[in-house]
């Protein structure tokens, strides 16, 4: 998990609403097959929990990504997610 500030959370929510292909009107489409499921990343304001967001959506906003990386010092872990996103393998 990458820690974020409240100001960063607002930017992240705007980015999710504009760019994330799994987001639809507040719901997470991959978990929405039985009942409506809220997007975990949109309702969280203290950290980034979604691995798809880290690997696919966050790199779109380079300034926000750089700010979060500098704040967290977890650069190796984030680079590992991005490197393996092609193969859909997410390991910690």
Query: Residues 76-88: what's their mean pLDDT?
Result: 58
pLDDT tens per residue across span 9-46: 999 999 999 999 988 888 888 765 667 788 888 888 89
Query: How far is Cα 45 from Cα 9, in angstroms, rounded to an integer?
Result: 5
CA-closest candidate to residue 3, choices 52, 37, 49? 49
Instruction: Name the percent of the chain lying above pLDDT 90.
Output: 38
């Amino acid at each position: 998990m990458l820690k974020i500030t409240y100001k960063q959370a607002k930017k992240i929510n705007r980015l999710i609403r504009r760019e994330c292909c799994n987001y639809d009107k507040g719901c997470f489409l991959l978990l929405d097959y039985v009942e409506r499921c809220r997007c975990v990343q949109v309702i969280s304001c203290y950290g980034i929990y979604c691995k798809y967001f880290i690997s696919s959506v966050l790199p779109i906003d380079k300034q926000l990504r750089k700010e979060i990386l500098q704040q967290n010092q977890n650069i190796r872990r984030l680079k590992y997610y991005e490197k393996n996103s092609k193969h859909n393998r997410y390991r910690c």
